[in-house]
Amino acid sequence: MAREFAAHALAGHIPGRIIVQHRDGYEVVTDQGELRAKISGRLLHEAGEAGYPAVGDWVEIALNDAEGAAVIHDVLPRRTAFVRRAVTDSSQGLQVIAANIDVAFVVTSLNADLNARRIERYLAAALQSGARAVVVLTKSDLSDDPQAQTADIAALAADCLVVAVSARQGLGLDTLLAQVGPGETAVLVGSSGVGKSTLVNALLGEDRMATNAVRDGGDQGRHTTSRRQLVRLPGGGLLIDTPGFREVGLIDAEEGVGLVFDDIERLIQECRFSDCRHDNEPGCAVLAALESGALDAGRWANFEKLGMETAMAEAKAQQVAKNDERRRLLVLQKGYRATKRDTRGSK
């Protein structure tokens, strides 16, 4: 990171890593300790959708001794990033959940809310991030047959490690800690109420994160974590806890989808025709697998859904890039015309 920082830094600026993201700023750890920081006006104006700092980012900051705070001037290039499309009532913007991660723990609970299709979606985003993906099945003590459920999830998890854990009984925690080596960074991602904060407390061996019990009459817990933050694990690893979210909108995740659905990708290669639509064409390996039961219909439907979503996201990104280039050319043309007018006026 020292080399990357040297290539970007201005005189007097120092490197830091974001460890907490607040609504109105950040907490950054530096060689001079932990500092509160805000984004510079220039970065706020120029950052773009996914360019704002996120937990795990290395940043270039300037100290402001008079105010006892710091200003973030730049975000250093990210090695990896878990990104989703954040859907709001008015727009769909890119949201960086965590940056510079080595391991993505996809967390869900072994209760009635266990959803294979949701796990496939999270895995696609996790693998697209560039990090290793591990599926974590929490609350195994509440399951009647955790081994069978773990095997079922492992069958669709793209050869990723699947670990059943119980924070209450201390089961599986050592296996998770072993996945995060000294200096490595992991992130917990999953829906609200799957036990991420409880898991963090169990891994740390202390009650640092607030937790809530599962609601009466249901299997979904209440949302507990309200901010993203990075904590140090026993053994020297780092862990980013994130708020739960209802949906992970995929962003340019073709590679991640391909890895999660590698079995379907291989079936497609076996179709008689290279442009097979898997509808009613003769020699379609996908249809044959669906008819024989070798391919689950729900898994195939989810593959089609995520593939379409990824294609739409890519098309939108290309259109945004075209619009940006068109605006850039218009600015250049206006500048050229203004220069010509000034040149004529001076004659």
Q: Which of 333, 166, 133 shows the shortest CA–CA distance to 253?
A: 133
CA distance 89 to 69: 34
By three-state DSSP, how is residue 273 classified? coil
283: alpha, beta or left? (left if phi > 0; alpha if psi -120 to 50):
left
Count other Cβ atoms within 10 Å, centred on residue 177: 16
Question: In degrees to the nearest 10, what's the CA dihedral of 39, 42, 44, 49?
Answer: -130
DSSP-derived 3-state class of residue 306: helix
Res 89: pLDDT: 41
| pLDDT value for 330 | 72
Instruction: Give the whole-angstrom CA distance, residue 189 versus residue 276.
Output: 36
Residue 28: strand pairing partners: 18, 35
Determine the Cα–Cα distance for residues 333 and 160; give it in Å rounded to an integer. Answer: 52
How many of the other CB atoms lie within 10 Å of CB of 294?
11
In sequence order, the β-bridge partners of residue 104 are: 133, 187
Q: Are strands 25-30 and 69-75 parallel, antiparallel or unpaired?
A: unpaired
Pick the CATH number of 2-75 from 2.40.50.140, 2.40.340.10, 1.10.760.10, 3.30.565.10: 2.40.50.140
Sorted by where each begins, the domain ranges of the chain are: 2-75, 81-241
Buried b / exposed e along 309-338 (16+ C-beta atoms within 10 A): bbeebeeeeeeeeeeeeeeeeeeeeeeeee
Three-class HEC string of 39-101: ECHHHHHHCCCCCCCCCCCEEEEEEECCCCEEEEEEECCCCCEEEEEEECCCCEEEEEEEECC
**What's the pLDDT at 346?**
61
Query: What per-residue confidence (pLDDT) applies to 239?
Result: 95
User: Both tokens of residue 347?
Assistant: 């004659």
Angle at 113 between CA 227 and CA 259, to 5 degrees: 75
Spans of the chain below 70 pLDDT: 1-11, 49-50, 65-68, 86-93, 207-226, 244-252, 312-325, 327, 331, 334-338, 340-347
Beta-carbon contacts of 123 under 8 Å, excluding residues fewer than 6 positions away, are 106, 133, 135, 157, 158, 160, 256, 259, 260
Under 8 Å CB-to-CB from 109, ≥6 apart: which residues? 137, 138, 139, 142, 193, 194, 195, 219, 221
Task: List, in sequence order, every beta strand (DSSP E) within the chain.
Answer: 14-22, 25-30, 33-39, 58-64, 69-75, 81-87, 92-99, 103-109, 132-138, 161-164, 185-189, 228-232, 238-241
C-alpha 76/C-alpha 17 separation (Å) is 10
Residue 283 CB-density burial (10 A; 0-12 exposed, 13-18 middle, 19+ buried): exposed
Give pTM, 2 decimals: 0.76
For residue 20, the model assigns a pLDDT of 93
As a whole number of angstroms, the distance between CA 121 and CA 157 comes to 11
Q: Of 162, 226, 173, give the one whose Cα is nearest residue 201.
A: 173
Asked if 100 contacts 185 with a C-beta cutoff of 8 angstroms, the reply is: yes
CATH class of segment(s) 81-241: alpha beta
Q: How many C-beta atoms surround the C-beta of residue 21 within 10 A?
A: 22
Which 3 state secondary structure label does DSSP give 186?
Answer: strand
